[in-house]
């Protein structure tokens, strides 16, 4: 997964935690605008989320941060 996507995922998860608390859940759609302006990047995130990690639709933001940071 490209570094820019990993960074975006961490930033979004941290922002969601700051806004809604430690137990907040996110889906991979949280990392994108409401319109599909970068289908390749969306598919990259979806592939990592669904096929590589086998995550549920919603997962705890802390879990996503830990998974992404383990990739570095």
Domain ranges of the chain: 3-70
**% residues pLDDT > 70 (the chain):** 100
Rounded-to-10 torsion of CA 16, 5, 28, 19: 0
> Quick count: other Cβ atoms within 10 Å of Cβ 30?
18
pLDDT over 80 at 45, yes or no: yes
Q: Which tokens in the block code for residue 50?
A: 């669904």
- Determine the 3-state secondary structure of 34 from DSSP: coil
| Chain segment 7-42, per-residue pLDDT in tens | 999 999 999 999 999 999 999 999 998 877 889 999
Mean pLDDT lowest among 17-21, 29-33, 47-51, 66-70: 29-33
Q: What does the angle CA 19 – CA 25 – CA 28 come to, to the nearest 5 degrees?
A: 105
Task: State residue 33's pLDDT score.
Answer: 85
- Of 19, 29, 16, which is closest to residue 58 (Cα–Cα)? 29
């Amino acid at each position: 997964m490209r570094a820019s996507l990993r960074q975006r995922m961490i930033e979004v998860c941290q922002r969601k935690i700051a806004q809604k608390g430690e137990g907040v859940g996110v889906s991979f759609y949280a990392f994108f605008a409401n319109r599909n302006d970068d289908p390749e990047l969306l598919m990259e995130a979806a592939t990592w989320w669904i096929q590589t990690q086998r995550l549920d639709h919603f997962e705890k933001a802390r879990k996503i941060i830990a998974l992404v940071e383990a990739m570095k």
